[in-house]
Structure 1
Amino acid sequence: MKRIFSLVTTLFLLGGAAQADQISSTGDLGLVVERAKGALLLVDQSEHAAVDRIEGLGDLSHASLVYSPDQRFAYVFGRDGGLSKVDIIERKVVKRVLQGGNSIGGAISDDGKLVAVSNYEPGGVRVFDADTLEMVADIPTASKTIGLVDAPGRKFVFSLWDDGETWIADFSSGKVDITKVKGMGENPYDALITEDGRTYITGLFGEDGLTALDLWAEKPEAIRVLPNYGRGLKDLPVYKMPHLEGWAKAGQEFVLPAVGHHQVLWIDSVTLKETGRTDTYGQPVFAMARPDGRYVWVNFAHPLNDTIQVIDTLTKQVVHEFKPGPAVLHMEFTPRGHEVWISVRDAGAVMIYDTRTFEKLGEIQADKPSGIFFTARAHKTGL
């Protein structure tokens, strides 16, 4: 009996070892968009290195992506309307569909079963099965759609550039139920949702100010935030649209780039009242909070896009400024915030810095890098 037990145990252990050989960890990985090549560079955070390149993803000039809950698959939204499912363990494109003419971002449902794509052409939002990429819903809007995010309860929220509305698409019943909120303002251009899924905020391009929704309300209504914040200031040419995303919340405040002004705006996340402004080196594009919320890192639009400023959230003052190189496009913090990775397009590199000492720790060569996306995003609402 002991010999039989020993044999069974040995076979079980050998089988387990065989399975272990097939398992790959994904939590330390990320993808960098190489916009000129239509490729993704797979990077390892701990090694500060590129480990592979995945090609054949079409036009990635304004690409973004989201991850499946297990962090294995990335869903890539290309400017050519392409939706691509990428396996980062097997390091290949699993499937690719051209679902529109010009897509501008996407989201994945909280259960990981649905992937939604926001379109400029033909407008509207299309929703796909995450496993097969078969379309399960087409939501026409007759407008460019922007600011698409996931919300708790198998919902997607997005805004209409042309009509100044925000729509909430609820898939919890198995079919889509649409709630339309009017009066959001002129030309909403991007949006964020808080990590708890409660507050959705759109920035407005056609007028000063922002608009918020309380998604916990039985009937969400538009709440105007900072109307006329630019009054008395001269509008500057907008060379690149600012971005609002969930990482722009630091502590109890939102930190948002102003449109057409060299400022970031501070807003209390509960009262939605202004708490301050910080003058910046240029027109901010991303205002990104380190994961602990202690500092906000800001990059800028052309022609001042070689510079990063770091702002202390306690004093709202710039405490550090440096120049990584020409055309800083994006930043991504490691999950606990000890490093920041910065894509410097015209230097052909991703540069890595210690977020406390500001020491440069490494550099990875990349072909016209733009967006950087670590797999930890898989577990965050709105990312």
Structure 2
Amino acid sequence: MSRPLFVCIASLLLVACVQPPLRGTGDLGLVVERATGSLQIIESSSLTRLAQVDGLGDLSHASAVFSRDQRYAYIFGRDGGLTKVDLLEQRIDKRIIQGGNSIGGAISQDGRLIAVSNYQPGGVKVFDAATLQPVADIPATALADGKRSRVVGLVDAPGQRFVFSLFDTDEIWSADFSQGNTPTLTRFTGIGRQPYDALITADGRYYMAGLFGEDGMAQLDLWHPEHGVKRILGDYGRGQEKLPVYKMPHLEGWAVAGSQAFVPAVGRHQVLVMDAGTWQQTAAIPVAGQPVFVTARPDGRQLWVNFAYPDNDRVQVFDSETRQLVADLRPGPGVLHMEFTGRGEQLWLSVRDGQQVQVWDPYRLTLLKSLSADSPSGIFFSLRAQKMGY
């Protein structure tokens, strides 16, 4: 064998040896490290941390959505940053500053568009998911001082739509991109004072906004938008609370199990139970503190509840059928977020002040593993790519 041929073959073999093994992304996720503007890429199959990605800016209220193929995550930062992260190459693919203060975002039904809701400037900006090039700018309603309303509660909806709420002007808007990149806007006004957050049901039918300025919730039936917005759960809110509100619940923290919806009460030590067909309250479950997230195990049998300060060192587990307390756990100080794996065999939770992420077996109620993390907050698995409103 000639020397040049030998060198060529040896080089090819060397390159083959250093290529990373092929893998999928279905068991990958992210942990937000809010204090350092970084992410951990985690793998649920082996309960391990694969990599750390730095340089994502202000992640104090960060959230994430995933591309259809679950390879890319889109991170929405409080500094107006929109960052596309490659989970396989474990690096930032692209990052832009699209606003001054953003509060979340969504990916369209077809995975082609990324929408970001902004406090400053008030409105929604929409980008091409592949390139992060701007596609549309939707300014919110102008205020008397020349500023525009803050936008909250942005979700994706069926029919290539985004739906969102305007905090300062008491509105819900629907932006329909089904006919191209110039959206058709539908505005609903007078929906209730100061909508502060929202959710969409798993089937994409109902959009519901919580109201900060009065009791109740605003509900829009996306099957029948011509019926307008109606009020549900009239005593849900701050009007009758007996306690100071330390942390407003995130409405994504609702849980639906069977025909029931479980809702964190505002300013009360209760989880409210609603009939998911009539959206009327049927019961209330007493809990240890002011609930923030009520997370259902994927089979619907368990509810995991975490709390605002000063009870944010504990998590309570309830049986959704009997509504009885199953366990009262003490994972550590500052439990912020909880996320189940797709089939429910693991529950991951962030313990911010304990500087760790914990993985629990929700069936045996035992701690499987703890991973170190720098002030962890949100946990997001790539399985969200296949879910509406996530």
Matching residue of 1:40: 39
Q: 1:22 to 1:364 in 2, by over 3 A?
A: closer
CA deviation after TM superposition for structure 1 residue 186, in Å: 1.1
Hey, what does 1:239 align to over in structure 2? 246
Which residue of 1 is the match for residue 48 of structure 2?
A: 49
Native 8 Å contact 2:254 2:262 kept in 1: no
Counterpart of 1:7 in structure 2 is none
Inter-CA distance 231–109: structure 2 relative to 1 (3 Å threshold)? closer
Q: Is the 8 A contact 1:76 1:84 kept in 2?
A: yes
The answer as to whether partners of 1:194 and 1:246 remain within 8 angstroms in 2 is no
Q: Which amino acid aligns with 1:43?
A: I
Is the deviation greater in 261-270 or in 105-114? 261-270
Residues 1:233 and 1:280: Cα distance change in structure 2 (over 3 Å): farther
Q: Deviations over 1:16-73 (max 9, x none)?
A: x99x977431111111001111111011101111110011100101100000000000
Distance in structure 2 (CA, Å) of the matches to 1:171 and 1:230: 33
1:120 and 1:305 map into 2 onto residues whose CA distance is: 28
Instruction: Name the residue aligned to 2:76.
Output: 77
CA deviation after TM superposition for structure 1 residue 218, in Å: 4.6
SS of 2:357 mapped into structure 1? strand
Relative to structure 1, the CA distance from residue 154 to residue 59 in structure 2 (aligned partners, 3 Å threshold; closer, same or farther) is same
Q: Which residue of 2 aligns with 1:11?
A: none
Q: Residue 219 of structure 1: SS of its match in structure 2?
A: helix
In 1, the alpha carbon distance for the partners of 2:260 and 2:113 equals: 31
Which position in structure 1 is the counterpart of 2:102? 103
Q: How far has the Cα of 1:236 moved from its partner?
A: 1.6
Q: Is the 8 A contact 1:265 1:276 kept in 2?
A: yes
TM-score (norm. length: structure 1):
0.92
Q: How does 1:289-328 map to 2 (within 5 A)?
A: 289-328=296-335
- Provide the rounded CA distance (Å) in 2 between the counterparts of 1:216 and 1:204: 22
- Please give the residue correspondences for 1:87-102 in structure 2 after superposition, counting only pairs within 5 Å: 87-102=86-101
CA 1:91/1:219 → structure 2, altered by over 3 Å: closer, same or farther? same
Change in Cα spacing, 1:234 to 1:27, as seen in structure 2 (3 Å) is closer
Identity of aligned residues (%): 58
- Structure 2 CA distance, aligned partners of 1:200 and 1:218? 10
Report 1:200-349 matches (<5 A).
Answer: 200-229=207-236, 233-245=240-252, 248-349=255-356
Corresponding letter in the other structure for 2:95? R
Structure 2 partner of 1:129:
128
Partner amino acid for 1:169?
A: A
List runs of 5+ in structure 1 lacking aligned partners. Answer: 1-16
Per the TM alignment, residue 316 of structure 1 is displaced from its structure 2 partner at its CA by: 2.2
Q: Which shifted more, 73-82 or 230-239?
A: 230-239
**Does the 8 Å contact 1:124/1:140 carry over to 2?**
yes
Which of 20-29 and 200-209 deviates more?
Answer: 20-29
Once the two structures are TM-superposed, the CA of residue 318 in structure 1 deviates from its matched residue by 2.3
Please state how far the C-alpha of 1:223 moved relative to its aligned partner: 1.6
Instruction: Give the SS at the match of 1:373.
Output: strand
Contact 1:210 1:226 in 2 (8 A): yes
Task: Tell me which moved more, 337-346 or 235-244.
Answer: 235-244
Q: How does 1:363-378 map to 2 (within 5 A)?
A: 363-378=370-385
Question: Once the 2 structures are TM-superposed, how far is the Cα of residue 183 of structure 1 from its aligned partner?
Answer: 2.6
Could you tell me which residue of structure 2 aligns to residue 154 of structure 1?
160
- d(CA) in 2 for partners of 1:41 and 1:342? 14
SS in 1 for 2:251: coil
Q: Does the 8 Å CA contact 1:166/1:184 hold for their aligned counterparts?
A: yes
Q: Kindly tell me: are residues 21 and 345 of structure 1, through their superposed partners in 2, closer, same or farther at Cα, counting changes over 3 Å?
A: closer
Equivalent-residue separation in structure 1 for 2:118 and 2:81 (angstroms): 11
Contact 1:118–1:148, Cα closer than 8 Å, also in 2: yes
Q: Deviations over 1:140-166 (max 9, x none)?
A: 112111111100111001111111111
C-alpha contact (below 8 Å) 1:246/1:382 kept by paired residues? no
Contact 2:214 2:237 in 1 (8 A): no
> 2:61 aligns to what?
62
2:11 corresponding residue in structure 1: none
Candidates 151, 163, 166, aligned match of 2:169 = 163
State the match for 1:9 in structure 2. none
Gaps of at least 5 residues in structure 2 are 1-15, 141-147
Q: 1:246 to 1:370 in 2, by over 3 A?
A: closer
CA contact (8 A) 2:214 2:238 kept: no
Q: Report the CA distance between 1:315 and its aligned residue.
A: 1.8
Q: How many positions carry a matched residue from both structures?
A: 367
Letter in 1 for 2:274: I
The answer to whether the 8 Å contact 1:36/1:61 transfers is yes
Letter in 1 for 2:212: F
Deviation at 1:277, TM superposition (A): 0.8
Task: Quote the offset at 1:289 in angstroms.
Answer: 1.1
**Using a 3 Å threshold, how does the CA distance of structure 1 residues 230 and 106 change in structure 2: closer, same or farther?**
closer
